[in-house]
Amino acid sequence: MGEVNALKNTSLTALGGIITALSVVFMFMSSLIPFMTYVVPAFAGLLLIVTVREVELRWSFYIYIAVSFLSLLVIADKESAVMYSFFFGYYPFVKVLIDEKFSNRVLNKLIKFIVFNLGVVLGYLVIIKVFGIPIEEMDEFGKYTNIILLALGNIVFIFYDILVRNLAMIYDLKWHKRVAKIFKF
């Protein structure tokens, strides 16, 4: 019995290391391709679907913490690192928790929007106040710029939520057996 648990822990650690490394590599891409500031952390967060589907959510949380820390430490594009840390990195496993706890569709969507908006607003406060990154584009729409950008972000969030759900279903149908076989779950 002890050997089975040791093998499982070794497999989980290996899977976690692979997902963490791939996520950090994705995050580096935001420094290489500047216009990918939001796309890269979104894709890095999507990699957590594997651990969300295969193991306990706490493993996904540990990976999120590791990638957030490493991104904030070594990634040149701090805006991208903050967007991962304050929303995209944790959303795939928080989505599971919200979906499990709130079966009422309206309440479920409302809580997801609250999580998104809190994450984005707090993230931008960190970007502006902690990292001192000026947001020059904020004047394009006048005094309503922040509201317009947040509204557009909410529209994009709807698509991201659908993307996470659909990729999780595709993963279950196409990749689960392969990953479980490789890592012997």
Domain ranges of the chain: 2-183
Instruction: Report d(CA 113, CA 158) in Å as an integer.
Output: 9
pLDDT tens figures, 85-98: 999 999 999 999 99
Mean pLDDT of the chain: 88
Both structure tokens of 182: 């490789």
User: What pLDDT band is residue 82 in, cutting at 50, 70 and 90?
Assistant: very high
Q: Of 166 and 38, which is predicted with more confidence?
A: 166
Instruction: Report d(CA 31, CA 37) in Å as an integer.
Output: 8
Q: What DSSP character marks residue 134?
A: -
Burial of 113 (0-12, 13-18, 19+ CB in 10 A): middle
Residue holding tokens 């648990």?
5
Q: Answer whether residue 142 shows pLDDT above 70.
A: no
User: What pLDDT band is residue 13 in, cutting at 50, 70 and 90?
Assistant: confident
Could you tell me the CA-to-CA distances from 174 to 96, 177, 178, 180 in Å, in that order?
A: 20, 7, 8, 12
